[in-house]
Amino acid sequence: MNENNNGFVRISDDVVAVIAGLAAGKTKGVSSMSAGVTEGWAKRVSGKNMTKGVMVEVGQMETAIDLRIVVEYGEKIHEVTRNLQEEVKEAVETMTGLRVVEVNVKVEGIEMKEPTEESKKVVEQRVK
């Protein structure tokens, strides 16, 4: 919570989660966010619209972020996760003024890319 002459400013956990989720979605190699079983149950029980694959804890001046992702097949996981941490940290700090103390990433899967038209032609030519 920030205090100035006009009153207090508190940034909602959901706002930080949305910023983190948008930054994650723009990171090269991240196929999607993973909701996980626990989040799926929590949404059904509480009816709350939770941000998929993003959990945050927001304090007065700092925030911690946990992300669950699915990586595109063929990408170097360690590079994708490092870039993801940097992108999310920069986006949240720039937009909110909060200091990001940690960005934890859990890779929960690998997504295979759909075959392209070019790769389908190679298969067609091979079996002629």
Contact 16, 58 (CB under 8 A): yes
Domain boundaries, given as residue ranges, for the chain: 2-126
pLDDT of residue 116: 62
Read off the pLDDT band of 128 (50, 70, 90). Answer: low
pLDDT of residue 120: 62
Residue spans of beta strands (DSSP E) within 15-128 = 30-33, 54-58, 62-72, 99-111
Contact 59, 88 (CB under 8 A): no
pLDDT digits (tens, 9 = 90+) for 9-40: 899 999 999 999 999 999 999 998 987 655 45
pLDDT digits (tens, 9 = 90+) for 33-86: 987 655 454 444 444 444 789 999 999 999 999 999 999 999 999 999 999 999
CATH of domain 2-126: 3.30.70.1350
